[in-house]
Amino acid sequence: MEALEEIVQFLSKSARLDLRVVSVSHVLGSVEGIKLLIANDKLLTSLLDLTSDESVAKDAVLCLVNITAEEIGAAVVVEKLAERLVPAAYEAILNEDCKLSDAWCMVLCNITRPEQLVEPVLKHLLAIEFALEKLTTCFTRINYNKQKCHLNYLGPLFSNVSQSKAGRAVFCNQTTGLLGRLLPFVHHDGSIVRRGGAVGLLKNVCFDSSVHEWLLSEEMDVLPFILLPLAGPEEFDDETNEKLPVDLQYLGPDKKREEDPDVRKMLVESLAQLCATRKGRQHLRDHGTYEILRELHKYECSPEGDKVVLAAVENVVDILIRTEEEIGEDNLKQLEIPDDVKAKIESMSEANEK
């Protein structure tokens, strides 16, 4: 540990270039070095300083990626460096000539993954005028970065940030239309990271029942974006096809269902959130959601399926097949659930995940 502490002096910008390179590489490749960084404010500060030093910037940023990959490291970085780090990452991502934009995206993604860190990071992001709007432009403009950075990890960043009410408010701003610009990436084939991030954002937005009417309106019409990846090559009769959104009618034998079970689970959970209100449930019934889930249920029961997704599907189907008289509540989110029932539900959910 004492030897590693001596490295601090060599991480200074005033140190010789060869010593800086060796020092950063040593810290980057050492578990002990990572632990030292978390415990040493001066070392963390020096590391952040070196991200603007072109000679060692790549190693310095990758070191931050490694540190923040673990929740304990992410928490320390947010506490000690967020005020400087968040604007630095933002500027690097916006710079279309930056070669390290992808790494900086990963840092922001890592420090917003733990739910308790979202608010402090978001505070610094929102202090920058139109930060999320500009990052959305970077994400939606394919090949924005001229150095072949893909910016895919902005997707999980948006998903993470939307865990917060303040974050959801930015994406659901009807004037800027951010959500509408991001919805097409729910079907993005090129990157599971980008696609999963867009789906995660959609799921989190659906958590807020106050925007359900808008989400299901003709203006937004999120239902086809959710159902299309869940649909397979199954054929429906004309009557059922008439119920389905236009994008899901007569799909044909080549239609492939979303392969990633985590993404399918998030999509089904989005439907579950939209079932919170009577209007939402009726809209889903009227537009063939049950029929799509019926076929998905068969798939999840097959060897290719997933038991966690299967449980999620059954939860939604259980709501949709009931009459409103049986449900007896207009908004399920306003139901007060006794603590003992909550405990049972949580234990059942944990059992399904195993």
pLDDT digits (tens, 9 = 90+) for 258-283: 999 999 999 999 999 999 999 999 99
Question: How confident is the model over 48-95, as pLDDT tens digits?
Answer: 988 998 888 898 898 899 889 989 889 999 999 999 999 999 999 999
Determine the residue type at 247. Answer: D
Confirm if 300 and 310 have CB atoms less than 8 A apart. yes
Q: Own/partner pairs for 46-54, CB < 8 Å, 24+ apart? A: 46/8, 46/11, 46/12, 47/11, 48/81, 48/84, 48/85, 48/88, 49/11, 49/12, 49/13, 50/11, 50/13, 50/20, 50/24, 51/88, 51/100, 52/88, 53/13, 53/20
With a cut of 50, list the residues of the chain below it in pLDDT.
1, 3-4, 10, 16-22, 335-338, 340-346, 348-349, 352
What are the backbone angles phi and psi of residue 85, rounded to the nearest 5°? -65, -45
Q: What is the pLDDT of residue 18?
A: 45
Closest by CA to 199, choosing from 169, 229, 168, is 229
Return the structure tokens found at 165: 């009410």
- Tell me how far apart the alpha carbons of residues 152 and 105 are, in angstroms, rounded to a whole number: 8
Residue 113 near residue 102, CB atoms below 8 Å: no
Q: In terms of DSSP H, where are the helices of 207-277?
A: 212-215, 223-230, 238-243, 261-274
Q: Does residue 112 contact residue 86 with C-beta atoms inside 8 Å?
A: no
The Cα-based distances of 333 to 8, 128, 217, 236, 275 in angstroms read 52, 34, 20, 33, 10
pLDDT of res. 263: 97
Domain boundaries, the chain: 208-353
pTM of the model: 0.87
275 backbone dihedrals φ, ψ, rounded to 5°? -80, 0
Q: What is the CA radius of gyration of the chain?
A: 23
101 near 93, Cβ under 8 Å? yes
Compute the distance between CA of residue 210 and CA of residue 215 in angstroms, rounded to an integer: 10
The H helix count followed by the E strand count for the chain is 22, 0
d(CA 233, CA 255): 5
Q: How far apart are CA 126 and CA 166, in angstroms?
A: 9
